[in-house]
Chains A and B, each alone.
Chain A
Amino acid sequence: MMSQPEPWQKAETPGPMKALVISKPEVVVGMIKNAKRPLLIVGPESAEREISGEKEIDQLIRIAKAGKIPIVATSRAVIDFVRRNYGPVSWMPAVDIANRLRDAEWTGVKGEGQHDLAIFAGMQYYVEWLLLSGLKHFGGKLRTVSLDRFYQPHANWSFPNLGEEEWQQNLRVIQNGLGRVL
């Protein structure tokens, strides 16, 4: 795959404001570490997609553990977390979590205050594209990152379109940068 900042689905061009490309995954590590209340939003595709024989959801769980990031599972993704016996997960429909993230008065999944960084992964490309568009326009100070394999132009930060290996490597760098998972 070519690494270039163009939408994966070619017609999904957004307009003048496009995501900055994550050329080095360490940038994401820095953003997560600097965020007061990051949130990882994981969609149902994460349990379908494989990265070198491993499901995307397993990589994401390790990142969440390493960065101590709360997870919101959307749609049926919740059952895949339950099956992995991974506890600290809220369940919320994708449209609901996006709708709450744009509300400055929402107190977040833990009731501690609105999140300042929302990390998206594991959704259908166009679903994530639209949710990120909503947050780009109405999310206020919220910053958004996509960890999926394909360029998401409405995020603040996104990988370019990546090959599987490069994607896996990037996720591993993020995980390692956040800390060791036992």
Chain B
Amino acid sequence: MFRQISDYLDGDLDAELKRAIEAHACGCHHCEVVVDTTRMTIKLYCDGTWYDLPIQVHQRLHAVLKSRCRDRMA
């Protein structure tokens, strides 16, 4: 079951295997928790809101790009 979780979360399983996993997991609290918390793990990392781009990093990037790219485009 655990080996299939990743494919299950990606919707990459055929219908028969998907049904078999769901049938198993309906009576298995451990599997339910693993699926739900793996999905939460992905969601947490996918959600970029906890990453900030430091303003100084942004400013230095744009300064470098302006000096090395803008003049070549003009």
A binds B: no
